[in-house]
Amino acid sequence: MDNLSRSERSEIMARVRSTDSRPEMVVRKLVYGLGYRYRLHVRNLPGCPDIVFRKRAKVIFVHGCFWHRHTGCALARLPKSRLDFWLPKLEGNRIRDEKNKRELQRMGWKVMTVWECQLKRSARLADRIRGFLDA
């Protein structure tokens, strides 16, 4: 059972952003600091990637562990209530992400996913991003 009222929960969920989220802003600042320039949320690409490097034909998705079901991550825990709603929704997000990734790869794009939990180790993440973009 949820310990918040329906209106309180609704207010909290309304504050969840689809673009310009805190994890996305951290990754954007890191990428910019590494000297790379990019485009944001290119809508004509499958999945509307968060960060797009057109000349390199590479994209980065910044995923929240809960919303995109990061396998094996503590942040990807399931809610305790309304599982009949949450299970199909979250699984649908995961399936949609995989479909978009396959479609981008089919179009010749290289895809990297940065998970929310990976932001804690910024030096390691910076190395990983640099390796992805320079390869």
Show pLDDT as tens, one digit a residue, over the chain (135 residues).
567 787 887 777 677 666 778 999 999 999 999 999 999 999 999 999 999 999 999 999 999 999 999 999 999 998 888 899 889 999 999 999 999 999 999 999 999 999 999 999 999 999 999 999 999
Model pLDDT, residue 110 = 98
Model pLDDT, residue 10 = 74
Torsional sign, CA 92, 12, 49, 63: negative
Model pLDDT, residue 129 = 98
Q: Which domains does the chain have, with CATH numbers?
A: 18-134 (3.40.960.10)
Locate 106 and state its tokens: 């089919």
Model pLDDT, residue 2 = 67
Are 31 and 129 in contact by the 8 Å Cβ rule? The answer is yes
Helix 122-134 / helix 22-33 crossing angle, nearest 10 deg? 60
Distance of CA 7 to CAs 12, 13, 14, 78, Å? 9, 10, 10, 21
Please tell me the pTM assigned to this model: 0.86
Model pLDDT, residue 68 = 94
